[in-house]
Amino acid sequence: MRRGCSSSSTCVYGVTYSNTTFSVGFMAKETLTITRSDVFQLFIFGCGQRNNFPNGGSAAGVLGLGRGWFSLVSQTANKYHKVFSYCLPPSDRSTGYLRFGDKNLPSSVQFTPMSNSFQGTHYYGLDIVDIGVGGERLSIDRSVFTTSGAVIDSASLITRLPPAAYSRVRRAFEVRMTKYPRAPAFESLGTCFDFSGNTSVVMPTISLYFEGGLEMPIDARGILYVNKISQACLAFAKNSDDSDVMILGNFQQKGYEVVYDDANGRVGFAPVINVKSSLAIVNKHGPCSQLNQDKPNAPSHSEILRQDQARADSIHSMLSLSSTEKTSLQDKPGISIGTGKYQVTMGFGSPKTELSLVFDTASQLTWTQCQPCSGYCYDQKEPIFDPSKSSSYTNIQCSSGTCKQISSEGMREGCSSSSSCVYGVTYSNTTFSVGFMAKETLTITSSDVFQEFLFGCGQRNRFPNGGSAAGVLGLGRGWFSLVSQTANKYHKVFSYCLPPSDRSTGYLRFGDKNLPSSVQFTPMSSSFQGTHYYGLDIVDIGVGGERLSIDRSVFTTSGTVIDSASLITRLPPAAYSRVRRAFEVRMTKYPRAPAFESLGTCFDFSGNTSVVMPTISLYFDGGLEMPIDARGILYVNKISQACLAFAKNGDDSDVMILGNFQQKGYEVVYDDANGRVGFAPGRCG
């Protein structure tokens, strides 16, 4: 940087990024607040007096995370030990995170040493040794990479390769993409394709290999840069000269938490999901859903909340049944499917047919619509599953023990004229499925395939809130649940991260490998043993950093379940009143707004450019505190009607429901084998 001195003997700095981007001002010390608990006195920074930042997007300045004396990394070394990490947002409409320190690093992180070539600079260097395309290493001569070296950069978009490496990658990629016509180059991207007319695209994988044996498979979103459907380009550019340093850009860092450990001279990569046993979760009304390609109208906020109320009412009804009443459960309406908002895609049959299913932690049976429907199936976007075209499909016989188990699990049981076992499951007056109980091959991922998976092959189905999904994926507790049927492999453990917005994706993964190190568990409640629900013991709630000291009996009277398909958290009346009062006291600067459906505590933010609201935390048995993500506190119908996203149960005996709106920002881990549920913050963008 340039150094100078003002007329008042104040130190002046000058930093230039390009001909049009610079900052000149006073070198100063100030208090820096990163979080409420992480406050740094006398932080050295530049107080700019003359600045030009045309590409800054109206940002106030720059946060320096490079190597160097003035870097935030160096100035906070006593607390954070020169360790920081980030997860970049998967889409423009979602969020990522930047975190500091060596606590709670993901257990799946793998490290490579920093390169010695960039000691004394502000850059973090890496030693790349090879690249792979389509699962095959290209065996590029190592000197191609060592001549220039490589740096990893958070602000560079596209990865820049040495010319010799780019040529090898380009050739290997083109050979595997011959079914698609070529398109003109786009700016610095010279390997482009025209996907017009294709409903799906198959592209080869790409991996980077680093010193120390680390392989980094590039996330699928980091392989192609799509300018338009007729011009999708390999997202790697060629350097102009062999001596130009290779740059690992942020486009190829998608899907990873990238860990910088400068104290130990290493950089690590932790995949955000375990791709071997995981599925993408999409919002059925978002553009990421396969079912929403022609953009049908999404339901209004009122419709969403009414559907959610129906879900809550049905859970309350189901759990209020006495043990005597439960013996005749098959004759009663089942649980409402609610908004049916979140879906995953799985493969059924041999060869497999990919089907989108609404996943539900309160349902145990997995079912899908099946041919022939004879006019009793609803419209779904994907082709309806045809068991006659699968070599692995088998109907369950009436005489089997499996068929007899149906009534024990709370479903209707019957027998067809051909002695095939018939099931019936009812969610509400308008939502049901009746069909054959069957065995079929289920494909979760290419490496996770289950033979003779028990499911319902629906012949008569109605699913008005399913968003054109093919059926339901049952993740509840019970004999027929996917969790029970895959217990030998996944040990009754699964987790999910819900999409942070309609335009992004989350994930559903299975098994106890690579659980986040930051996960904290609370025991499952014994009150819900023998049901399909996952129960929790909540002991208190906090607002604005203060626990409300609500009498524990308020929660134990009804108990609490966590539910993936319920939207809004439902509180016992006494708890709701305490939370509402504490929240209102801290929101007096905003005028009140009318209630909205089941939400009774609403505010008018018209004319406000920003809103300050109190935090809310749930406290569980075992000492676990779960701070609700800011996105899970207010449900915004419109700027003049933003409501506290908690609803009041009608009666103290109604079970409390922890809905998915308050699960945002967490990876939620269900470990049924060990009787516990866990929450890992900051894993979901």
Give the integer Cα–Cα distance in Å for 685 and 666. 9
Nearest to 495 by CA among 505, 485, 510, 482: 510
Q: How far is CA 261 from CA 84, 359, 683, in A?
A: 7, 38, 20
Tell me, rounded to whole angstroms, the distance of Cα 240 from its chain centroid: 38
Q: What is the dihedral of CA 246, 252, 256, 257, to 10 degrees?
A: 50
CA-to-CA separations, 654 to 321, 427, 562, 571, 648, in angstroms, rounded: 11, 19, 14, 9, 10
CB 36 within 8 A of CB 15: no
Q: Residue 468 is encoded by which pair of tokens?
A: 């054109």
* Tokens 């929101």 -> residue: 587
- Closest-CA residue to 439 (of 424, 427, 457, 425): 457
- Tell me the C-alpha distance between 135 and 568, whole Å: 44
CA distances from 450 to 85, 386, 441, 442, 493 (A): 37, 19, 6, 5, 16
Name all contacts of 97-103 with Cβ < 8 Å and 24+ positions apart: 97/682, 97/685, 99/682, 100/34, 100/38, 100/76, 102/261
Environment class of residue 18 by beta-carbon count within 10 Å: exposed (0-12), middle (13-18) or buried (19+)? exposed
Question: How many Cβ atoms from other residues are within 10 Å of residue 532's Cβ?
Answer: 24
Under 8 Å between Cβ of 392 and 482: no
Asked if residues 560 and 538 have their Cβ atoms less than 8 Å apart, the reply is yes
Find the catalytic residue in 127, 563, 654, 672.
563
CA–CA distances in Å: residue 620 to residues 321, 536, 626, 677, 681: 26, 8, 8, 10, 15
Catalytic annotation, pick one of 153, 262, 308, 360: 360
How many whole angstroms separate alpha carbon 292 and alpha carbon 299?
13
Residue among 366, 322, 315, 313 at smallest CA distance from 344: 366
Distance CA 295, CA 270 (A): 34
Cβ atoms within 10 A of the Cβ of 410, count?
21
- What are the beta bridge partners of residue 84? 100, 260
Are residues 597 and 307 in contact, defined by beta-carbon separation less than 8 angstroms?
A: no
Residue 652 contacts residue 556 (beta carbons within 8 Å): no
Distance CA(525)–CA(557), nearest Å, equals 13
> How many CB atoms lie under 10 A from the CB of residue 506?
25
Alpha-carbon torsion 271, 275, 278, 282, what sign?
A: positive
Residue recorded with tokens 């970049």:
88
The SS3 of residue 579 is: helix
563 as an active site residue: the answer is: yes
Active-site annotation, residues: 360, 563
